[in-house]
Amino acid sequence: MSHKAAFNVAVVGATGAVGQKIIKLLEEKNFPINELKLLSSSRSAGKKIAFHGEEVTVEEALPESFKGIDIALFSAGGSVSKQLAPEAVKHGAVVVDNTSAFRMDEDVPLVVPEVNKEDLLNHKGIIANPNCSTIQMVAALKPLQEAYGLKRVIVSTYQAVSGAGVTANKELENQSTSFLKNEEMQAEILPVKGDKKHYPIAFNALPQIDVFQENGYTFEEMKMINETKKIMHAPDLSVAATCVRLPIFTSHAESVYVELDRNDLAVNEIQKVLEEADGVILQDDPQNQLYPTPLSAADREEVFVGRVRQDPDVKNGFHMWIVSDNLMKGAAWNTVQIAETLIKNKRL
């Protein structure tokens, strides 16, 4: 356990969209850094990134890059994490990993600080950052689970293209231009780059995020189902998900239906619990058309909830609308928050 006032921090995937946001947040939050090491693939090595008024040169991520590193924040894809995260741990670093590589490993805590920060006490060197769509949902579900008990969750997502990376954003831009000029749209990335078929996302909705599994659900949907149960320590919770990609650049939105253990609750009681929840902002005034949208949530760290209403036919059933910036709370901010929590609780 380290008692140093400042830490040697490595960011792996420093030139990617999430990596860049992590660096920006480390700067904005005045994270206690002694030395910052920026790592990437050999392709991006040599680039320079500004940090606190100085230029830091990006280096190629290699096993020996982690000598002397206290905290390594990974956001460079699952194969990189699988290869290099154990190497970082060998060198004495604590890894916070943004990929799905270790999320369902029973020895690896899967953490949203507002929901289950106590799981950080049991880490063995690697901590997993959950899927972006899962993070925002559990942030809103956890206070309801604690207050009233939770039986069932059904979620439909409306996810931003940035979740598929910078090239997917570019494809949306190009397709939008083509469509408006009445030209043929080129589709090479979505719904899944490595899958057989590609469809335009501009002016469209794609009911496939990640590859299909044998049960007919996509990998993204199964991530939401399995991660929610793990984070909330609720293996018997009923969870089902449909994940849809929309032509939005930033912020995922979700329509979530929950069934609680009590059937004597009013909407204002649910709203009060959400209003008091850590990291959640309630924006819910239908009379004045107040509710969260992807644009209003962009660049914000919080999870926004609105449209809370009781199901017309199910007494213990409630519907809500949850929106959050998928690159902020859904990735970069949750990662930095985990690192901050580790320091606060002296778990490094």
Two tokens, residue 13? 């995937």
| 252 included as an active-site residue | yes
SS3 sequence of 42-77: CCCCCCEEEECCEEEECEECCHHHHCCCCEEEECCC
Q: Which residues pair with 157 in a beta bridge?
A: 243, 254
Q: Quote the strand ranges of the chain, DSSP E.
A: 7-12, 33-40, 48-51, 54-57, 59-60, 71-74, 94-97, 126-128, 150-159, 238-245, 252-260, 280-282, 303-310, 317-324
Backbone angles phi, psi at 150, to 5 degrees: -125, 130
Based on its alpha-carbon atoms, the radius of gyration of the chain, rounded to whole angstroms, reads 20
Q: State how far the Cα of 241 lies from the Cα of 217, in Å rounded to an integer.
A: 8
Q: Residues 52, 198, 243, 252: which is the catalytic one?
A: 252
| 243 included as an active-site residue | no
CB atoms within 10 A of CB 252: 30
Q: Residues 3, 52, 132, 319: which is the catalytic one?
A: 132
Active site residues: 132, 252
